[in-house]
Amino acid sequence: MSIRKVGGVFLRVTNLEKSLEFYTNFLGMEVAFTEEWDGTPEANLKTTEQNLFLTLIEQDEVQVLKEPVFNLVTDDAIAMHTALIDSDFNVTEVENWTSEYNHHVLFDVYDPDGHALNIIEMQPITK
């Protein structure tokens, strides 16, 4: 018996509508469906390559994730970084580094509640 995959990440937000705007309009995720759990509004988001990935759950108060606990993969980190800056979002500087397997271009962006999200582009190293 073993774990087959990550089923999803649950993130608490204080304003579901505002958070949905950020995650869909600025990060390009799609709403798979919305529902309520015991009267609590939530939205299930997906990326272009994955089905359900991120569930946003609206609560009056949230514990803000000041350090990223997951990353979101993009094909063009520089363009996304520029677009987020142009839209007045709080982002860190772009970092570049190379491992034995990949070249990484990455930065963090903070959602409307201040949760840190890591945005990363990885290009395989050809040997």
Please indicate, yes or no, if residue 66 is contained in any of the structural domains: yes
Please indicate, yes or no, if residue 1 is contained in any of the structural domains: no
CATH number at residue 17: 3.10.180.10
Question: b or e along 61-74 (b: 16 or more beta carbons within 10 Å of the residue's beta carbon)?
Answer: eeeebeebeeebeb
**pLDDT, tens digit, 9 for 90 and up, residues 39-75:** 999 999 998 887 778 999 999 999 999 999 999 999 9
Please indicate, yes or no, if residue 2 is contained in any of the structural domains: no
Confidence of residue 126 (pLDDT cuts 50, 70, 90): confident
Distance (Å, rounded) from C-alpha 82 to C-alpha 91? 10
Please indicate, yes or no, if residue 4 is contained in any of the structural domains: no
pTM: 0.89
122 pLDDT above the threshold of 80: yes
Number of domains in the chain: 1
**pLDDT, tens digit, 9 for 90 and up, residues 76-102:** 999 999 999 999 999 999 999 999 999
pLDDT given for residue 3 in this prediction: 79
Tell me the residue type at 36: E
Distance (Å, rounded) from C-alpha 1 to C-alpha 4? 9
Domain coverage including residue 44: 9-124
pLDDT given for residue 98 in this prediction: 95
Strands (E), the chain: 9-13, 30-37, 40-46, 54-58, 71-73, 95-98, 102-110, 116-124
Tell me the residue type at 102: N
Please indicate, yes or no, if residue 109 is contained in any of the structural domains: yes
